[in-house]
């Protein structure tokens, strides 16, 4: 049984464009510390092998010191490290993978053809290949069919388990036929958990740091223990900050800011939140609320998903222009209850009808 750290999709030097200039600069700096945290974990766990399945860099044009920090951190790991460049950081003669001197323990796959590296001391073979462009129409497992020889065969690849993808499409049938014991994949930013196709186990670890609200919750790497015919995997959190989406029902609440603060976790100042205001209520002043709540979070955005109070809809029976407008909007809201645009139209239209133009501001 050997112990493997499987990571992918660091996206070092990601711009963090969803944050303000100060926070985005800080997040890029924090992201550069990620390889060092990975190295600390590998030493603490006594890893025998580290497999990094691509997109460690967010693009070809990154700060040289970022690539140097990555090389130094990986060089400090006291075991072999394998890196398979992905679609964001493809291998080329001009990429940081080719232009920097990398430590002796780091093997970077540099060909679009599959390569096998034997590790006699560990009794295993590592198979890998590189993206050499930002897109790849062929499967990274194309042609791989290793005889079941009782050895431990590991794959380190960037690809998408989706036949329609243009980023190294892989089918489950190809995984099953590969002959690999464990396939360490990168590209998908959510942890897949340990999967299995016949005798081959595979997984995506997800990205180790979220960069937006499509990458919520804990992020990290997988600690894998493998031997021929048997694989176990455990998710290990590695992120410093999380993106979270919260829903707060403000029905009957006169103090919305207080309701949001009560919904936030104790460590909210470390993390980024998107708060969805739901329930019934008058249109909240999102700008004022964000100013009030900003000190309680590292990053905060508010979205109004509230509905008009039920007693306002009762006025649709009035024989007036307001009643006619509310009857029309009521029918639309009933037909599409999740369409927030209709709720906003009803809210602002009612304000305009009863309070003039100032009611819409």
Secondary structure, 3-state, 138-180: CCCCCCCCCCCCCCEEEEEEECECCCCCCECECCHHHHHHCCC
Q: Which whole-number Å values give the CA distances from 183 to 88, 221, 346, in the listed order? A: 20, 14, 53
* Alpha-carbon gap, residue 210 to 217, rounded angstroms: 8
Span 3-16, pLDDT tens digits: 999 999 999 999 88
Report whether pLDDT(329) > 90: no
d(CA 312, CA 280) in angstroms, rounded, equals 11
How far is 36 from 21, CA to CA, in rounded Å? 24
10: left (phi over 0), alpha (psi -120 to 50) or beta: alpha
Confidence at residue 310, expressed as pLDDT on a 0 to 100 scale: 65
Strand partners, 278: 249
pLDDT tens digits, 210-220: 999 999 999 99
Average pLDDT in the chain? 91
**pLDDT value for 355:** 64
Identify the CA nearest to 97 among candidates 124, 48, 127, 57: 57
Angle in degrees, CA 296, 300, 302, rounded to 5: 120
What is the pLDDT, as a whole number, of residue 325? 86
Percent pLDDT > 90 in the chain is: 72
Q: Both tokens of residue 35?
A: 């390889």
Look at residue 133 in the predicted model and tell me its pLDDT.
Answer: 95
Q: Token pair 């979270």 is at which residue?
A: 244
The continuous run of DSSP H or E covering 183 comes out as: strand 182-186
Which 8-state DSSP code applies to residue 267?
T
Mean pLDDT of 278-288: 85
Q: How many other C-beta atoms can be found within 10 angstroms of the C-beta atom of residue 240?
A: 16
The per-residue pLDDT for range 49-81, each reduced to its tens digit, is: 999 999 999 987 788 889 999 999 999 999 999
pLDDT at residue 322, as a whole number = 83
Summarised one tens digit per residue, pLDDT across range 228-259 is 999 999 999 999 999 999 999 999 888 999 99
**pLDDT bracket for residue 343 (50, 70, 90):** confident
Domains and CATH numbers, the chain: 2-237 (3.60.21.10), 243-360 (no CATH)
Looking at residue 311, its pLDDT comes to 66
CA distance linking residue 152 with residue 313, whole number of Å? 67
Report the distance separating Cα 174 and Cα 169, nearest Å.
10
84 close to 129: Cβ distance less than 8 angstroms: yes
> Does position 357 have pLDDT exceeding 60, yes or no?
no
Average pLDDT over residues 299-324: 82
Tokens 């989706």 appear where? 162
Structure-model confidence comparison of residues 2 and 284, the more confident one: 2
Average the pLDDT over 186-194 and give the result. Answer: 97
Beta bridge partners of 300: 273
Q: What gap in Å lies between CA 36 and CA 301, rounded to an integer?
A: 31
What average pLDDT does the segment 266-285 reach?
A: 90
Measured CA angle at 343 (ends 342, 344), to 5 deg: 90
What's the pLDDT tens digit per position in 75-106?
999 999 999 999 999 999 999 999 899 999 99
Q: What is the pLDDT of residues 145-175, one digit of tens each?
A: 999 888 999 999 999 999 899 999 999 999 9
């Amino acid at each position: 049984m050997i112990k493997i750290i499987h990571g992918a999709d660091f996206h070092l030097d990601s711009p963090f464009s969803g944050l303000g200039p100060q926070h985005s600069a800080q997040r890029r700096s924090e992201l550069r510390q990620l390889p060092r945290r990975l190295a600390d974990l590998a030493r603490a766990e006594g890893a025998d092998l580290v497999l990094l399945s691509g997109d460690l860099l967010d693009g070809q044009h990154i700060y040289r010191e970022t690539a140097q920090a990555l090389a130094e951190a990986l060089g400090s790991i006291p075991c072999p490290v394998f890196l398979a460049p992905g679609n964001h950081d493809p291998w080329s003669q001009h990429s940081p993978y080719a232009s920097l001197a990398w430590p002796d323990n780091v093997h970077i796959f540099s060909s679009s053809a599959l390569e096998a590296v034997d590790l006699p001391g560990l009794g295993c073979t590592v198979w890998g290949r590189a993206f050499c462009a930002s897109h790849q129409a062929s499967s990274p497992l194309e042609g791989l069919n290793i005889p079941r020889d009782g050895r431990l065969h590991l794959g380190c690849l960037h690809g998408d388990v989706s036949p329609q993808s243009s980023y190294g499409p892989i089918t489950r049938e190809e995984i099953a036929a590969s002959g690999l014991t464990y396939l360490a994949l990168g590209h998908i930013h959510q942890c897949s958990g340990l999967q299995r196709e016949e005798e081959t186990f595979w997984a995506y670890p997800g990205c180790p740091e979220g960069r937006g609200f499509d990458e919520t919750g804990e992020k990290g790497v997988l600690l894998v223990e493998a031997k021929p015919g048997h694989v176990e995997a455990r998710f290990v959190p590695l992120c410093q900050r999380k993106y979270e989406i919260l829903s707060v029902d403000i029905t009957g609440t006169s103090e919305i800011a207080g309701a949001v603060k009560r919904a936030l976790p104790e460590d909210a100042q470390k993390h980024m939140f998107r708060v969805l205001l739901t329930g019934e209520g008058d249109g909240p002043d999102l700008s004022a609320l964000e100013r009030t709540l900003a000190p309680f979070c590292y990053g905060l955005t508010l979205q109004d998903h509230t509905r008009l109070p039920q007693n306002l809809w009762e006025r649709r029976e009035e024989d007036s222009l307001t009643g006619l407008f509310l009857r029309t909007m009521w029918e639309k809201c009933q037909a599409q209850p999740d369409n927030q645009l209709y709720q906003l139209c009803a809210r602002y239209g009612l304000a305009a009808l009863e309070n003039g133009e100032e009611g819409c501001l």
